[in-house]
C-alpha cells in the first residue's frame, strides 16, 4: 500500500506547497518512510504555518533534520 498516494486524494498532488506540506504533516509518521529530501524540506519550510500539536511538530523537525545533520 502506498500511503503517500492516499494522502494526496488526487492522481497528482496539487501545486500548492502549503497544501502538500499540510497533507504530509497530517499523515506523519505513516508517510515518513516514503519522504524524499524535497518532501522533508517542504515540511520544514511550512511547518510553522500548519496547525498541529507542538509535540508532533518537534518530531517532524527531528526526523526531517536528522538526515541533513548526518552529513
Q: What is the pLDDT of residue 1?
A: 47
Q: How many residues does the chain have?
A: 71
Q: What is the mean pLDDT of each run of 10 residues along the chain (71 residues)?
A: 58 78 91 91 96 96 81 50
Q: What is the pLDDT of residue 5?
A: 60
Whether pTM exceeds 0.85: no
How far is Cα 66 from Cα 5, in angstroms, rounded to an integer? 24
Q: Count Cβ neighbours within 10 Å for each residue of 49-63 and write b for 16 or more, e otherwise.
A: ebeeeeeebeebeeb
How far is Cα 13 from Cα 31, in angstroms, rounded to an integer? 14
Q: What is the pLDDT of residue 42?
A: 95
Q: What is the pLDDT of residue 30?
A: 87
Does residue 52 sit in helix, strand or coil? coil
Q: What is the pLDDT of residue 10?
A: 61
Q: What is the pLDDT of residue 47?
A: 97
Amino acid at each position: 500500500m502506498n500511503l503517500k498516494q492516499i494522502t494526496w486524494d488526487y492522481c497528482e498532488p496539487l501545486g500548492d506547497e502549503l497544501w502538500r506540506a499540510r497533507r504530509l504533516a497530517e499523515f506523519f509518521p505513516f508517510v515518513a518512510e516514503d519522504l524524499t529530501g524535497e518532501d522533508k524540506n517542504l515540511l520544514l519550510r511550512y511547518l510553522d504555518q500548519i496547525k498541529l500539536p507542538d509535540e508532533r511538530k518537534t518530531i517532524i523537525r527531528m526526523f526531517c533534520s536528522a538526515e541533513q545533520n548526518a552529513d
